[in-house]
Amino acid sequence: MSNEALLISGISYKVRKLIELKNNLLDENKRINHELEKARVLIEQLQNELENKRIKLVEISLASALNDRKGVENSIEFIDRLVDEIDKGIDVLSD
């Protein structure tokens, strides 16, 4: 009878340890998911900031190009090339 009680006690101990381990893993999983969500938000913010800076760079580039006459001609050519590329993209997408 004492062997059976000892076995039951051992099994009970192991089950408690497994439950404790499971709870620890669940807590860690919640923490990691929270960190992942924070990282996703940060990535989104950085992507938005990068896009804003790209737009600002284009604006500054165009503004500086428009400051001199040669820049105006280059800007017109650049805009024409952009329009051509956009038209080609529209043609590809419409097919």
**Region 53-65: what's the mean pLDDT?**
81
Residue-number span of the structural domain to which 14 is assigned: 2-94
What is the C-alpha to C-alpha distance for residues 24 and 19, in angstroms, rounded to an integer? 9
Indicate the pTM of the whole model: 0.53
- Residue 95 gets which letter from DSSP? -
Q: Can you give the pLDDT at residue 68?
A: 61
> Does position 95 have pLDDT exceeding 70, yes or no?
no
Q: Can you give the pLDDT at residue 89?
A: 83
**What are 43's two structure tokens?**
């990535």
Q: Can you give the pLDDT at residue 39?
A: 95
Express each pLDDT in 12-30 by its tens digit. Answer: 999 999 999 999 999 999 9
Q: How many domains, the chain?
A: 1
Q: Where are the alpha helices (DSSP H) in 1-95?
A: 2-65, 69-94
